Amino acid sequence: MAVALTVDGERLASGSSDRTIRLWDPNTGSLLRTLHGHMSSVTSIAFSGKTLASASKDKTVRLWDFEAGISLKKLEGHTDYVHCVAVSTDGKTLASGSGDCVVKLWDIATGALLQTLEVHTHSVKDIKFSADGGILASASYDRTIRIWNATTGTLLRTLEGHSKNIEGIGFSVDGKTMASASEDLTVRIWDLSVETSIQDMNSVWEREWVSHVLFSVDGKKLVSVWNSSTVGICDPDTGELQLSWQAVPLDAWFLLKINRIAFSIDGQTLVTALYNGTIQVWDVATGELQQTLKYKRIPDANIKFVADRETLLEGYTVRVLDIATEKTLQSFTAKYLPAAIYFPEGGQYNIVDRESFIFQTEGFNSASSRSSLHELQQEPMTVEGGWLSQNGDRFLWLPYDYRPAKSAMYGNILCLGHQNGHISFFEFKNSRSYSLA
């Protein structure tokens, strides 16, 4: 999940694992449009004027005219997931960081690759420009922060001190200090002129894992997220905790953990994006929740979804029924039922998880046991991090040369398309039909 606000605070963009980017009005909570184009999860987004930049696990960066809903350019060159993007303040240069351990600088107007910065020895997880655009910082799982001249690509200094992976970084507005968040349970504030940490706020965060850190535009507030569920606001000069609140219930933090944060330009509003697609808008002064934006939801209680099949080996007919009248409102067919299906309702497109469907076959009672229903559902197969997984279980490791740029599933046949132009086919020898999530 990724989230970003325009400078004027009038537009909010969110990117998701469903491969889409959604544009919202944060004042009303209205969904304005949805951008399609990425072939895998959207990991990071950034605004620049009327342009939106997005990064994805499909190893590409895309540039969009977000008001028109048009994809302008696709930037290719990374060989692994692109984890982060940032745009310089003059809107001319875009930086991207990837699991291939490199930082790339791009010309936004032409889409041309300007430079490739190769110093990190592990995945680049966050990247930021200073407010004047002259300095670029990159944070990596190699536990270092690299400070670069954004124009020449010269490495100016290296910040070292964290003992575990660095998850996030943020410049102060004057560019003299930087904050970093790490899995070593600390937030550090760095004096960039002397390459040393001037504030170590591990005691503030009560020894919790810190995943995100961000300065307000006026530099008076530093927000951080710990344990993927709690938001804290502190004074960056003293390290004093001013306010904190639980954004995600403790009993649900693993499923609903915070994935991204963004400040409004006036520092009065904070946006948090959760892994399940929920976007929360908070009042920074009070910690009160102002808006909750959702695009993924379980269908209304007066509607049910029934997937009918004559035999266990044939396709589905999916019917949308009015519960009170049993009248069919919509119907469609699908040979293999995916993990989730989009459907229109009230002028909006929603997502229905496969778990919300009632599965039936000829002579099969829909009120049968949950285990029987489970056997009829197709469990989607995913290709993530070099593994084939199903139902969250990894079952086949793919050597590096077999890891796909694209993949597709048809019945029991898995097709993998590779960067070198080769195509591999795998056949799974059982009677179950699979789908690719």
Q: Decide if pLDDT at 160 tops 80.
A: yes
Asked if residue 228 belongs to a domain, the reply is yes
User: pLDDT for 23-45, tens place per residue?
Assistant: 998 888 888 999 999 998 999 99
Cβ-contact 71, 51 below 8 angstroms: no
The pLDDT > 90 percentage for the chain reads 32
pLDDT for 204 equals 45
Distance CA 314, CA 99 (A): 41
- Read off the pLDDT of residues 69-115 as tens digits, 9 standing for 90 and up: 899 999 999 999 999 999 998 899 999 999 999 999 999 999 999 99
Q: Could you tell me if 224 and 307 lie in one domain?
A: no
312 and 406 housed in the same domain? no
Q: What is the pLDDT of residue 364?
A: 38
Determine the average pLDDT of the residues in 218-231: 85
What's the confidence (pLDDT) of residue 192?
Answer: 87
In 3D space, the residue among 48, 72, 68 whose CA is nearest the CA of residue 60 turns out to be 72
Question: How far apart are the C-alpha atoms of 125 and 436, rounded to whole Å?
Answer: 27
Query: Can you read off the two tokens belonging to residue 272?
Result: 């948090």
Of 76-90, 133-147, 150-164, 274-288, the least confident? 274-288
**433 in a domain, yes or no?**
no
Question: In terms of DSSP bridges, do strands 357-361 and 303-309 run parallel, antiparallel, or are they unpaired?
Answer: parallel
Is 343 in the same domain as 400? no
**327 in the same domain as 185:** no
DSSP string, 218-266: TSS-EEEEETTTEEEEE-TTT--EEEEEESS-GGGHHHH-EEEEEE-TT
pLDDT at residue 423, as a whole number: 76
Instruction: Tell me whether residue 348 is in a domain.
Output: yes
**Can you give the pLDDT at residue 363?**
40
**Beta 348-353 vs 269-274: how paired, if at all?**
unpaired
Burial code (b: 16+ CB inside 10 Å, e: under 16) for 93-110 equals: bbbbbbbbbbbbbbebee
Least confident of 61-75, 262-276, 308-322, 370-384: 370-384
Domain boundary, last residue among 236, 264, 293? 293
How many helices (H) and strands (E) in the chain?
2, 40
- Three-state secondary structure of 327-390: CEEEEEEECCCCCEEEEEECCEEEEEEHHHEEEEECCCCCCCCHHHHHHHCCCCEEEECCEEEE
- Can you list the pairs that 333-338 forms with residues at least 24 positions away whose Cβ atoms lie under 8 Å? 336/378, 336/409, 336/410, 336/411, 336/433, 336/434, 336/435, 337/307, 337/377, 337/378, 337/435, 338/380, 338/435, 338/436, 338/437
* Domain assignment present for 434: no
pLDDT of residue 397: 78
List, in sequence order, every residue forming a beta bridge with 304; answer none if it has no partner. Answer: 321
Q: How far apart are CA 410 and CA 415, in angstroms?
A: 8
DSSP strand pairing (113-117 vs 103-107)? antiparallel
Taking a C-beta distance cutoff of 8 angstroms, is the pair 84, 41 a contact?
A: no
Identify whether residues 42 and 183 lie together within a single domain. Answer: yes
Classified as helix, coil or strand, 92 is: coil
Question: 143-155 pLDDT, tens per residue?
Answer: 999 999 999 999 9
Are 251 and 166 members of one domain?
A: yes
What was the pLDDT predicted at 437? 44
User: Is there a contact between 132 and 177 (Cβ–Cβ < 8 Å)?
Assistant: no
Task: Give the mean pLDDT of 213-231.
Answer: 84
pLDDT at position 326:
81
Does the reported pTM lie above 0.85? no
Question: Model confidence at 432, in pLDDT bands (50, 70, 90)?
Answer: very low
**Most confident by average pLDDT, 8-17, 209-218, 289-298:** 8-17
- Angle at the Cα of 328 from the Cα atoms of 324 and 309, rounded to 5 degrees: 115
Is 276 domain-assigned?
Answer: yes
Q: Say if residue 119 is in the same domain as residue 11.
A: yes
Pick from 188-192, 331-335, 347-351 the range whose average pLDDT is largest: 188-192
Residue 347 has a pLDDT of: 40
d(CA 416, CA 201): 46
Q: Which of 293, 323, 354 is the last residue of a domain?
A: 293
214 and 357, same domain (yes or no): no
In the prediction, which pLDDT does 76 show?
Answer: 96
pLDDT of 252 = 66
> Domain tally for the chain?
3
Q: Is residue 168 part of a domain?
A: yes
CA dihedral in degrees (147, 149, 152, 158; nearest 10)? -20
Domain with 366, as residue range(s), is 303-376
Identify whether 435 is part of a domain: no
Looking at the structure, do residues 166 and 128 belong to the same domain, yes or no? yes
What band does 335 get if pLDDT is binned at 50, 70 and 90? low
**Whether residues 253 and 289 fall in one domain:** yes
For residue 21, give the DSSP letter. Answer: E
Residue 358 counted as domain residue: yes
Mean pLDDT of 153-182: 90
Which pLDDT tens digit goes with each residue over 387-401? 777 655 677 777 766
Q: For residue 148, give the CATH number of its domain.
A: 2.130.10.10
Domain co-membership, 141 together with 289: yes
How far apart are alpha carbons 208 and 206 in whole angstroms? Answer: 6
Q: Final residue of a domain: which of 293, 328, 358?
A: 293
Whether residue 362 sits in one domain with residue 238: no
**Mean pLDDT score, 371-380:** 38
